[in-house]
Amino acid sequence: MEKFIPIYFLYAEIHYKLFGVFNLLWHKFPEIIADVPFRVEPDTHIPVFCFIKDADLFPVILNRIDIELIYSDNSIEKLIFPFPALKVREKSWKKVFFVKPKEGFSGLLKINVCFSITSDNKEYYFKNDNYKKTTHCHFDVFIANENFPSFNDCIYGDLHFHSDLTSSIVEFGAPIDAAGKAASSIGLDFFVAADHSYCFENINYGQSFNYISDDKWETAKKNEAELNKQTSASNEKNVIIFQGEEVTCANSKNKNIHLILFNYDKFVHGSGDSAKDWFNNNPDNNLKDILDKIDKSALAFAAHPAVKYNFFEKLLFRRSKWTDADYLHKNLTGLQILNGVVDSSFFKGVKKWTEILLKGEKKFIAAGSDAHGNFNRFRQFGLPLINMKESKLNIFGNVRTGVFIDGDLTRENIIAGLKKGAYFITNGPAVKFTVKNEKNETAMPGESIKGKNLYLSFEIKSNSEFGKIKEINIFIGDLDSRKEFIYKTIKNLYEFSSKDEIKLFASSDNYYIRITASTKKKKKNYICFTNPIWVKS
């Protein structure tokens, strides 16, 4: 039976034809794609990624690659990289160039990447990509003059990224080493390659499937280890990579949901919504069984649990939401409620999370971009095989998880911070807060504290990239009455930072406390939500 085309796409693979004949986007060239990060930290080179895919089927000669830097005063700097008659014939070819804006420049930089190729003795010139029905528009890259808001003991990660291991007959992602270079430039310290579990299983993307194989998983884990051993280039900082999975599994109603699982060596099977056959969409692994079996070192998050699926996805992929019973398993670390964009599903996720907290559960919130190989914008199918769409949502690192760690940046310290809940989620501002008792004992997010005289200390940071602080809210969740309320609100500070200490007067002896902060730059709002500190008076 003809394979069905999945809904979620990475870089679009255009050489598949439905029933062997239909694809309005097909052409005789390999996919030729450029990509760049959406922002870079101060004094950082911009990695410019160039990908050529399927040249084994459609070989070309690469003549040169031109990179244009267009500044805000409309001046243009052009960099030319010749490749004298380079024959590109491999399945996947990539090249990264590191370019640096002129001294002292900050703000929005426009970049074009132009490919000169020869095919069938004819020269062609492609700008930014060679897809049909895309704009081929320049890339916008924000050159920061201040580091992403943070604290000395805080590191940043993206807990939901898809590499080129998430790949099929209609999609492909960016290599994981390219993601490492992108992460370094935008100010990430780690990321999780949460590739679809069914992509590890479906090795052959032709008309048949080699089902359930550990080979691809074992290779991915070895690649993770090798990349984490490598030292960074002189202009890059070290980035730690976790190879994980986005596991398709059954919820309590036997419908397909997604689980982010990492820091776990074993491959976990799951292909219920892989779309390998029409309507063959029954879950083949159960969430409870998976969580029962994982060891204590593993981290498990509900992937975008409040995202709304349309009728098409429910019918053909049997996709559904997480149920209340699913959230309560003791081995579920938390909920990845911030999924690349602050939208209605995010706020629904916040509501569900607070309901879980008020039941007395300790579950933490995390953020991930769910980027499918896209560093600046995605260019993916709108209507499959008919047209393309472009967007700046779900871009690698555009939302992040800020983790407080003890000591150096190591895999072990990251896991320890994530395990205890010492983190916040953000797309801009950073929040750090503690609660101290009369014994001078101090608790951070994820921890518990007892005391009679309790003081809350907080610090909020933003910068010119994300705007001045608009509002700070301190929430208390009363675990006796099971109600959450705003304890204190601070509005319109018109400052880039704020620091304060307040005495806590709570009406309950058993509660949690958490903080949210928002900033505004022009017409765009940015948010930060912390995990709670639990208090017993």
Residue 18 confidence (pLDDT): 58
Residue 230 confidence (pLDDT): 83
CA-based nearest residue to 170, from 384, 338, 491, 490: 384
Residues 264-281 pLDDT 10s: 999 999 987 876 665 678
Residue 14 confidence (pLDDT): 53
Position 399 pLDDT exceeds 80? yes
CA distance 163 to 193: 6
Residues 433-454 pLDDT 10s: 999 999 999 999 999 999 999 9
pLDDT band at 9 (very low <50, low <70, confident <90, very high): very low
- Of all residues in the chain, what percent carry a pLDDT higher than 70? 86
Range of lowest pLDDT (106-115, 305-314, 487-496): 305-314
Position 491 pLDDT exceeds 90? yes
Range of lowest pLDDT (145-159, 285-299, 370-384, 517-531): 370-384
Give the mean model confidence (pLDDT) for residues 134-156: 95
Residues 261-320 pLDDT 10s: 999 999 999 987 876 665 678 888 999 999 999 999 999 999 999 987 776 676 667 788
Give the mean model confidence (pLDDT) for residues 99-105: 95
Question: CA of 176: how far to CAs of 110, 113, 189, in Å?
Answer: 25, 21, 14
**Does residue 118 or residue 215 have the better pLDDT?**
118
CA-based nearest residue to 526, from 466, 458, 461, 472: 466
Residue 133 confidence (pLDDT): 76
**Does residue 132 or residue 411 have the better pLDDT?**
411
Place of tokens 């010749």: 82
CA-based nearest residue to 62, from 98, 114, 115: 115
Position 484 pLDDT exceeds 60? yes
Burial of 389 (0-12, 13-18, 19+ CB in 10 A): middle
Residue 211 confidence (pLDDT): 45
CA distance 472 to 299: 30
Single-letter amino acid code for the residue at 451? G
Give the mean model confidence (pLDDT) for residues 382-410: 84
pLDDT band at 1 (very low <50, low <70, confident <90, very high): very low
CB 323 within 8 A of CB 335: no
The angle that helices 176-186 and 215-229 make with each other, rounded to 10 degrees, is 40
In this prediction the pTM is: 0.92
CB 354 within 8 A of CB 42: no
Element (H, E) at 242: strand 240-250
Question: CA of 508: how far to CAs of 115, 431, 446, 512, in Å?
Answer: 65, 25, 19, 10
Residue 136 confidence (pLDDT): 83
CA distance 403 to 422: 6
> Domains in the chain and their CATH numbers?
11-404 (no CATH), 428-536 (2.60.40.10)
